[in-house]
Amino acid sequence: MTAPLKLSGYSVWQLMELDACTRCGECVAWCPTFAENSHELTHPLGKIARLTSWLRRRHGLRARLCGPRPIADGELAEFAAGVYSCTLCARCREVCPVHIDTRPLWMAMREQLAAAGHYPPALATLRQNVTARYNTAGEDNANRLSWSQNLPSGSAGLAGRRAEVVYFVGCVSAFYPLAYPIPQSLVQVLHKAGVDLTTLGGEEWCCGFPLMVAGLGAEATALARHNVAAVRATGAKTLVATCPSCYHTWQHDYPRLLGEPLGFAVRHATELLAGLVDSGQLKLGPYGVGAVREPPLLTYHDPCDLGRTSGIYEAPRRVLQAIPGVRFTEMRDNRALALCCGGGGDVEMGDAELTAAVARRRLAQAQETGAEVIVSACQQCKRTLTATARREKARLRVLDVTEVVWGAMQGV
Ligand code: SF4
Ligand code: SF4
């Protein structure tokens, strides 16, 4: 067994990064999953040290003179358990003094492990769902607009037509009822702001991100080709996503996978909303003010794929702070050092308890501030934090920015 030891599985830059790790251990204290599972092959230093020692074992001078020593299947399985426990939150990259770009490194490890069959069984189901049904849930893809059934106008005009803006809803918001309020809110907000909007309906296919982070990204290019052609057919000048991972995939991965520019702009919903606030198209009133009480105290949770990996920190804060009379506070760890919600990296599919434990930590930080509402800009953060708040019986609501904005537009 050679995975994950093929040198060709890593770029020259990544091999230099492996060599550049000073073993300082700074990243260890910041790794949210290691803090919960204490698996030494989860944290960055552990993964890098194990991989470099294996690379030496197979490609070093002694290996050339005496032949490479084999890596036992059990060792690989243990390594895979650590690598697939990582939420790919990229927090380690922010604190690494030699600036190792960690997330692509963890993804390269996963690709090699997956190629050798060392990946959690749940990810095989994920692959089957996405390649056969075009969504992560394994549902009939024609039901992608189920969330629109409760809207006053239903799904009328929401698909199959040309428009200025196309909304890429994403699998979680399309198929998990807990997330339905996100697309419901965004569509109503944009309609009220006068934005000409459509969706791809059943022609929307999974963006491919869940497969790429699983190390199973071979099919991602076919998904990209289909989705880009579907958006071009709408004539849209802008694609908007509420899911930070879809956003990141469209903005950064699709042009690379297709080898050409998309021909339209890609915006996260919070960027679009911030622009509408600036132009005066979005009229906001007070949020959550009852007859006898002041507005609730809000805090904002940075989704990893919106903040650290896409660099969007201020747009959601600008939108929230544009609400008249809003009360807002920051958590101890915010922006580039924000703690993950535990929902990334496909970890939940293999180890739901680990996801819940990381989410509990983040929830505790929100509670420390005295906030009554934790606002995020990601359907997966909403799912994980809501489930944890319910389990912990925390007096804290979890909402998406789109829901808060729609709430602030009532009566305006
Ligand atoms: S990406 Fe996040 S979970 Fe993964 S090793 Fe780095 S800090 Fe830990
Ligand atoms: S912080 Fe960077 S240099 Fe230090 S042990 Fe972690 S990966 Fe290596």
- Helix, strand, coil shares, percent, the chain, to 5: 55, 10, 40
Task: Report whether 186 contacts 91 (CB < 8 A).
Answer: no
CATH T-level topology, domain 7-115 = Fumarate Reductase Iron-sulfur Protein; Chain B, domain 2 (1.10.1060)
How many angstroms separate the CA atoms of 342 and 85, rounded? Answer: 10
338 CB less than 6 Å from ligand 1? no
Give the count of alpha carbons within 13 A of 402, CB side only.
30
Mutate to test the pocket of ligand 1, among 26, 37, 43, 51 (most ligand atoms within 8 A of CB): 43
32 CB less than 6 Å from ligand 1? yes
31 CB less than 6 Å from ligand 2? no
- Give pLDDT, residue 2: 61
- Give pLDDT, residue 59: 87
Q: How far is CA 294 from CA 46, 290, 291, 405, in A?
A: 49, 7, 9, 17
How many angstroms separate the CA atoms of 375 and 400, rounded? Answer: 5
Mutate to test the pocket of ligand 2, among 96, 109, 337 (most ligand atoms within 8 A of CB): 96
How many angstroms separate the CA atoms of 171 and 183, rounded? Answer: 11
How many angstroms separate the CA atoms of 371 and 386, rounded? Answer: 15
User: What is the 17 CA–ligand 2 centroid distance (Å)?
Assistant: 10
How many angstroms separate the CA atoms of 350 and 122, rounded? Answer: 6
Token pair listed for 252: 């950064």
100 CB less than 6 Å from ligand 2? yes
Looking at ligand 2, which residue's alpha carbon is closest to its atom 4? Answer: 24
202: left (phi over 0), alpha (psi -120 to 50) or beta: alpha
Task: Report whether 242 contacts 269 (CB < 8 A).
Answer: yes
The amino acid that residue 231 corresponds to is V
Domain boundaries, the chain: 7-115, 134-279, 297-408
DSSP 175-225: H-GGGTHHHHHHHHHHHHTT--EEE-GGG----SHHHHHHT-GGGHHHHHH
User: What is the 92 CA–ligand 2 centroid distance (Å)?
Assistant: 8
Beta strands in 58-169 (DSSP E): 165-168
User: What is the 106 CA–ligand 1 centroid distance (Å)?
Assistant: 9
DSSP run (H or E) holding 238: strand 238-241
Closest ligand 1 atom, residue 91 Cα? 7
Looking at ligand 1, which residue's alpha carbon is closest to its atom 4? Answer: 86
Looking at ligand 1, which residue's alpha carbon is closest to its atom 2? Answer: 89
Which backbone phi and psi does 7 adopt, to 5 degrees?
Answer: -60, -35
Residues in the chain predicted with pLDDT less than 50, given as ranges, are: none
Looking at ligand 2, which residue's alpha carbon is closest to its atom 2? Answer: 96
123 CB less than 6 Å from ligand 2? no
Answer yes or no: same fold for 7-115 and 297-408: no
DSSP run (H or E) holding 233: helix 220-234
CATH T-level topology, domain 134-279 = Rossmann fold (3.40.50)
Looking at ligand 1, which residue's alpha carbon is closest to its atom 8? Answer: 31
Angle at Cα 288 formed by Cα 285 and Cα 290, nearest 5°? Answer: 105
The pTM (predicted TM-score) of the whole model is 0.97
Q: What ligand has the least distance to the C-alpha of 308?
A: 1
Question: Nearest CA to 34 among 91, 80, 82?
Answer: 82
339 CB less than 6 Å from ligand 1? no
Looking at ligand 2, which residue's alpha carbon is closest to its atom 6? Answer: 27
Q: What ligand has the least distance to the C-alpha of 96?
A: 2
Mutate to test the pocket of ligand 1, among 27, 91, 106, 346 (most ligand atoms within 8 A of CB): 91
Q: What ligand has the least distance to the C-alpha of 343?
A: 1
44 CB less than 6 Å from ligand 1? yes
User: Which residues, at least 6 apart from 327, have a Cβ–Cβ distance to it below 8 Å?
Assistant: 294, 295, 296, 297, 298
Torsion of CA 237, 240, 244, 246, to 10 degrees: -70
**Which residue is listed with tokens 């005009």?**
157
Q: What ligand has the least distance to the C-alpha of 19?
A: 2
CATH 1.10.3470 given to domain 297-408? no
- Give pLDDT, residue 1: 52
User: What is the 4 CA–ligand 2 centroid distance (Å)?
Assistant: 20
